[in-house]
Amino acid sequence: METLIILLIIFGVVILVLAVLNAFLISYFYKTNKKFDLLLEKGKIKDLKEVLFKQIDKAKNQEEIINKIIDRIKSLESVSEKTFQKIGVIRFNPFDSLGGNQSFVIALLDKQNNGFVISSLFIKDGNRVYAKAIQNGNSEYSLSNEEKEALKRAMAI
């Protein structure tokens, strides 16, 4: 009698363990099935080969797009090296007795400190504008203190 009760308890425990295991496997099956439905687009795709080939095509297209983007970035980088990237501005009064700081100097330089300096001198009779070329941060023409300061500010960027 006692062995029968022990056998029934063991049998009950085994059934309980099997029921829990069965519930886990059913849950796992449904989760896996949902993932396959996503992968196979809910039954629209019947063959896994088709899925793999679609992914290969997508990867090739993305690689082509990325290569085009990289080429475009390289092109923009080479163009940007020749554009004005550094700017220095100074406003000043060349004559202490006249008006305010209406004269100015602008230095415009590229990445290699090449460019020019524009000076505008406001005087009683009008306005005078001068331009001086800059190569590697230097000019073959003599620069005023204001032009040197504008150049210094531009190269500091």
Look at residue 132 and tell me whether its pLDDT is greater than 90.
Answer: yes
| pLDDT mean across residues, the chain | 89
Handedness of CA 139, 144, 146, 149 (dihedral sign): positive
pLDDT for res 20: 95
pLDDT of residue 3: 85
Show me where the domains of the chain are located.
36-80, 86-155
Q: What confidence score (pLDDT) does residue 6 get?
A: 87
Nearest-angstrom CA–CA distance, 96 and 155: 28
Residue 141 banded pLDDT, cuts 50, 70, 90: very high
Nearest Cα to Cα of residue 104 among 116, 86, 92: 92
pLDDT at site 43: 63
Q: Identify the weakest region by mean pLDDT among 14-18, 43-47, 126-130.
A: 43-47
The Cα 15–Cα 62 span in angstroms is: 53
pLDDT in tens, 30-81: 999 888 777 776 666 667 787 788 889 999 999 999 999 999 999 999 998 8
Local confidence band at 87 (pLDDT 50, 70, 90 cut-offs): very high
Residue with tokens 């797009």: 65
pLDDT on residue 97: 66
pLDDT band at 122 (very low <50, low <70, confident <90, very high): confident
- Between the alpha carbon of residue 73 and those of residues 58, 85, 131, the distances in Å are 22, 17, 33
Residues 136/114, Cβ–Cβ less than 8 Å? yes
- For the cut 80, the answer to whether the pLDDT of residue 1 exceeds it is no
